[in-house]
């Protein structure tokens, strides 16, 4: 496929690299030019503007939030994408933004597809992401070779793009809730003198053997949260997205409010760039543990 690619952060760069390795032709754009230059060494063409990246008729955006996506779309992508062209947004954005994008592209005779992904940067590098896609069937079929290049499985949620977005933000809510509950449980065990490593290994080899418990329980036990896989300020953004969606639909989500407040506390403490699993440190502090494993 001939693809435009906009957004080369920790996830986007790895995904674009895998697309190139799979034989796709990429025209890439990133505000920080050096990221794009890295891909030029692998054969990508570097675009000077978002519009230039979109001219080929199929463009992927992998950006941090609604504002970044809106800036790119209104800043040239929408005007440059030809009629019948596809904009595939792989970012975690709001339900409302997905609706706006769907209508904006429809008004131009273009096609919008939501295809957010589950997985941390290491999964992106290994092409082991889980792609959640929704949009017109023919557009999804056209994009499937790309999905195969970046992920290990694609799940189609229907023809309305917003279905993929609500799946992603509700899934991220579950991850954040698991992090919070793990942090509380491990802190309680520590306060009673239980060995945290033994506790973690018992849980993750019996009742809670799912990857999310292993992924986030290990750094909590070791008190090591680097390299950062997902920043706390992005977790807070996602908590706000799920609460906004819940409010619109009339769905009470009290746990989401707890998670939101915990993440907000972390950001207020200056931890916005820390891994969101490091909220375990805040939970520990609130229980009188000034460092992991020791009472103050």
| 15 contacts 151 by C-beta, under 8 angstroms | no
| 61 contacts 43 by C-beta, under 8 angstroms | no
| Sheet strands (E) in 151-202 | 151-156
DSSP tag of 49: S
Question: Among the options 168, 191, 214, 231, which is catalytic?
Answer: 168
| 232 contacts 263 by C-beta, under 8 angstroms | yes
What is the Cα–Cα distance from 252 to 255, expressed in whole angstroms?
9
Cα 196 to the center of its chain, rounded Å: 29
And the tokens for 60?
Answer: 């992927």
Distances (CA, A) of 119 to 124, 168, 225, 230: 7, 11, 16, 10
**Phi, psi dihedral angles at 88 (to 5 degrees):** -105, 115
**Crossing angle for the helix pair 162-191 and 196-204, to the nearest 10 degrees:** 140
Annotated active-site residue 214? The verdict is: no
Catalytically active residues are 168
């Amino acid at each position: 496929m001939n693809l435009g690619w906009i957004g080369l952060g920790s996830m986007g760069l790895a995904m674009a690299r895998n697309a190139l390795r799979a034989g796709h032709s990429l025209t890439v754009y990133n505000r920080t030019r050096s990221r794009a230059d890295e891909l030029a060494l692998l054969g990508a063409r570097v675009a000077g503007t978002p519009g230039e990246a979109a001219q080929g008729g199929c463009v992927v955006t992998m950006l941090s939030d609604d504002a970044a996506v809106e800036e790119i779309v209104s800043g040239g992508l929408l005007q440059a994408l030809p009629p019948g062209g596809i904009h595939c947004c792989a970012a975690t954005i709001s339900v409302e933004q997905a609706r706006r994008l769907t209508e904006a592209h429809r008004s131009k005779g273009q096609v919008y597809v939501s295809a957010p992904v589950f997985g941390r940067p290491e999964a992106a590098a290994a092409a082991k992401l889980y792609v959640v896609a929704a949009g017109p069937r023919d557009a999804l079929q056209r994009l499937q070779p790309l999905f195969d290049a970046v992920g290990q499985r694609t799940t189609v949620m229907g023809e309305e793009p917003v279905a993929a977005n609500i799946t992603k933000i509700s899934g991220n809510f579950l991850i954040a809730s698991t992090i919070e509950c793990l942090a509380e449980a491990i802190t309680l065990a520590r306060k009673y003198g239980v060995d945290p490593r033994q506790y973690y290994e018992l849980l993750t080899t019996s009742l809670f053997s799912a990857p999310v418990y292993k992924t986030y329980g290990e750094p909590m036990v070791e008190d090591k949260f680097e390299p950062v896989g997902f920043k706390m300020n992005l977790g807070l953004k996602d908590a706000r997205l799920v609460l906004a969606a819940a409010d619109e639909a009339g769905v009470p989500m009290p746990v989401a409010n707890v998670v939101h407040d915990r993440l907000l506390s972390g950001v207020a403490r200056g931890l916005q760039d820390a891994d969101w699993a490091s909220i375990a440190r805040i939970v520990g502090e609130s229980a009188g543990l000034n460092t992991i494993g020791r009472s103050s």
